[in-house]
Structure 1
Amino acid sequence: MNIKPEKLQEGDMVGIIAPASPPVSKKLEIGVKYLKELGLHIKMGRAIWKKHGYLAGSDEERLRDLHDMFQDPSVKAVICACGGYGTARIAQQIDYCLIKDNPKIFWGYSDITFLHTAIQQNTGLITFHGPMLSSDIGSEDVHPRTKHSFQQLFQKMNLHYTEEISPLEIVVPGNAKGRLIGGNLALLVTTLGTQFEIDTKGKLFFIEDIDEEPYRIDRMLNQLKLAGKFADAAGILLCDFHNCLPKKREESLSLKEIIHDHITPFEKPTLSGFKIGHCSPNIAIPIGAEGVLNTEKKQLTITPGVS
């Protein structure tokens, strides 16, 4: 059974960590300022400004920040500053009992996908695939809908994704329901064959990515197909694939052709065009929450991710 974290209230403390790569300091400052404008108090992780190559401090330091924030009763949410690379390096050392015993909001995306999958499947805690402080809120042209996504943390609201947000295309018609699971395609593929392998059985499976050439998308979708992840899913959400264009090879299959080859044959209800991931706007969704996909109405409805 899934666990819903408690919603935030004005005056609550939120912890900011960088479990992967270090954030851009000026952009993070803008993101932190936005959280303060929402009436929240801030606790910064001890390792957030550290650098260890492409990592925000050593594995031990980043792991300690994650544990500290979940263990601290004054912290009501744990928000990731940015992605990059590195969360899979600490996944095996995480104390999942600590997280399960201290359920609270956990928020981020991109490389954070590995942690979403690990936490959801080891604790049942609903987490949020949502825009991050440095890479999204800290941008000069941040979309109002991106900022509005944070309102999901303050109120028990059903999320209705329709074409009012972005054009949606029917890939495979039909209706499906189930808990949401997924995230960044490249990260999801790295879970295969590990103790954190993504479980899509009976779930609404969503994927997104950025800067991957079509042949790489082809390879990763094929691997998920061979692992049975599309066959197991109740429905599929194709989200934003930002700048996933051919670069090395002039001759290329299109993303539509690749999707037709690897996903369409399973005849799972599928919609494409969701602005979820490395895009603007970047709409947050609660991983583990119940969702209903209706391709005829071109609509995704998700139950509240907080209690």
Structure 2
Amino acid sequence: MDPSAMLVKPYAPVPGSAIGLVTPSSSVSRYPRRTARALRALSGLGLRPVPAPHAWWDDGDRPAAEALAEDIAWCCRNEEISAILCTTGGLRSAELIPHLDFELLRDSRKPLCGFSDITSLLLAVHVRTGMVTFHGPTAVPSMGDADGIDPYTATSLLAAWRPGGPRELRAPAATSAESPIWEIEDHRPRSRTAAGPWRALTPGTARGRLLGGHLGTVVGLLGTPYRPRTDGCLVFLETNESEVAAIRRELGTLAEAGLFDTATGLLFGRTPYVDRPGELDRCLRDLAAEYGLPALIDVDFGHTVPIMTLPIGVTATLDTGRAMLRLDEPAVLARNPQELTSSATRSSGTPPRRTL
């Protein structure tokens, strides 16, 4: 069966509703100032951040994977919460997968968002349930800067969670690859440089379902029941790896596993720390040419600021000549007016929950 025929779209978050915060990978307990700024940024977007019971776990006392997976289930059951946002990435999100309640996640239809290591959860949920998940910002890295959340990041997230379409995505005006040490060096706004348009490595247009995420995390899902199927997909990948040799090895692993065999196009995120940019270009160009894939690189969905939100599973069109990606359908469903009214009433009666 065509996977797109089984696509399950989550419900659009209600304006003013609560957003559940979960911490499935690395602790944010060492970053209280940055976390507080992220909470203020979310509130500024008209969303009420509500931490799950273990959201603020201490760095030296990680809860069991079952408990962190239960935080996600808790958000699904909480009627006030209309979307689930991860606080940060790390290395250990995959440990939660065996403990996720996939049926509850599918039935609650709440958007799940994050990037980097969170890719393991996004793809596992999508593969098991058919539900659209969102490769986009996490709270503390993406929203905790001294000058708050970048407007491009905010606009892309809110647009992805809003019914409507099609919608064209293009490069931001400016980008930042700065990586200040949190709580020590991130007291000032980031410096930015002109972003420039996304770059075409191999020309052409392509259409397909968006599927991908963090390169190394996708590699880690090979050989598991949660390996993504890329038939007819626009594959998007990003990495924070600096060595071209390591990136080449991971891309080669995906190629040998057949992930590019029946794909329709390739998007690769900005990789500002890479040791040999020209060599990375050649590596990606060779890969795209071998599989006949139109390819755009330096696309803003990785470890730079700002970051766009890409809905996994949604049909999109890539046009390298216009340096453009178009979402051809909405990623979320609108609730009916009665549900909107009742949800807004419940939300307005509950004050924000702050524990920092």
Candidates 127, 133, 136, aligned match of 2:139: 133
Asked if the contact 1:214–1:253 (Cα under 8 Å) also holds between the matched residues in 2, the reply is no
Deviation of 1:124 (Å): 1.2
> How far off its partner does 1:52 sit?
5.6
Amino acid at match of 1:9: V
Amino acid at match of 1:305: A
Q: Is 1:295 aligned with 2:302?
A: no
Determine the structure 2 residue equivalent to 1:304.
330
One-letter identity of the residue aligned with 1:70: C
Q: Tell me the residue number matched to 1:256.
A: 281
Distance 2:171 2:72 in 1: 37
* Residue in structure 1 matched with residue 63 of structure 2 by the alignment: 57
In 1, Cα distance between the equivalents of 2:281 and 2:15?
44
CA displacement 1:26-46 (0-9 Å, x = unmatched)? 222111112212222232111
Gaps of 5+ in 1: 247-251
Q: CA deviation digits over 1:240-263, x for unaligned, max 9?
A: 2231226xxxxx971012213333
Deviation sequence 1:223-246 (CA, Å, 0-9, x none):
011111112211111112231226
Q: Contact between 2:65 and 2:96, CA under 8 Å: does it hold in 1?
A: yes
Q: Hey, what's the Cα distance between the residues in 2 that align with 1:18 and 1:5? A: 21
Instruction: Give the corresponding residue for 1:187.
Output: 217
**What amino acid sits opposite 1:220 in the alignment?**
E
Residue 169 of structure 2 corresponds to residue 144 of structure 1: no
| Contact preservation (8 Å) 2:255, 2:261 | yes
Find 2:169's aligned residue among 161, 167, 177. Answer: 161
Name structure 2 gaps, 5 residues minimum.
1-5, 174-195, 334-356
- 1:190-229 correspondence runs (5 A): 190-229=220-259
Superposed CA deviations along residues 61-105 of structure 1, whole A, max 9, x for unmatched, are 211101111122221100111111211111122111111111111
Matched, 1:45 2:75: no
Say whether 1:241 aligns with 2:274.
no
Q: Is the 8 A contact 2:153 2:307 kept in 1?
A: yes
Residues 62 and 164 (structure 1), Cα distance of their counterparts in 2 relative to 1, 3 Å cut: closer
Corresponding residue of 2:177:
none
TM-score (norm 1): 0.92
Identity %: 29
The equivalent residue for 2:9 is 4
Question: Residues of 2 paired with 1:221 and 1:179: CA distance?
Answer: 20
Change (3 A) 1:77 1:295: same
Query: What SS does structure 2 have at the residue aligned with 1:263?
Result: helix
Instruction: Check whether the contact 2:202–2:288 (CA below 8 A) recurs between aligned residues.
Output: no
Question: Higher Cα Rg: structure 1 or 2?
Answer: 2
Aligned 8 A contact 2:65 2:99 in 1: no
Q: How many residues align?
A: 301
Contact 1:27-1:133 within 8 A present in 2 as well: no
Contact kept, 8 Å, 1:235 with 1:293, in 2: the verdict is yes
How far apart, in 1, do the equivalents of 2:249 and 2:311 lie? 27
In the superposition, the TM-score normalised over structure 2's length comes to: 0.80
Counterpart Cα distance in 1 of 2:272 and 2:32: 24
Show the counterpart of 2:94. 88
Contact 1:209 1:242 in 2 (8 A): no
Structure 1 position 140, deviation (Å): 2.3
The separation in 2 between residues aligned to 1:299 and 1:153, in whole angstroms, is: 16
Conserved? CA contact 2:160–2:310, under 8 Å: no
1:15 aligns with 2:20: yes
> C-alpha separation between the residues in 1 aligned to 2:171 and 2:103?
40
Q: Does the residue aligned with 2:297 lie in a helix, a strand or coil?
A: strand
1:108 Cα deviation from its structure 2 partner: 0.7
Per the TM alignment, residue 164 of structure 1 is displaced from its structure 2 partner at its CA by: 6.0
Matched, 1:97 2:123: no
Q: Secondary structure at the match of 1:90?
A: helix
Separation in structure 2 between the aligned mates of residue 167 and residue 9 of structure 1, nearest angstrom = 33
Q: Is the 8 A contact 1:129 1:287 kept in 2?
A: yes
- Indicate which of 13, 28, 45 corresponds to 2:35: 28
Conserved 8 A contact 2:160-2:311? no
Tell me, yes or no, if the aligned pair for 2:20 and 2:50 is still in contact at 8 Å: yes
What letter is aligned with 1:145? Y
- Deviation track 1:4-51 (CA, whole Å, cap 9, x = no partner) reads 211122221111010111123322211111221222223211111213
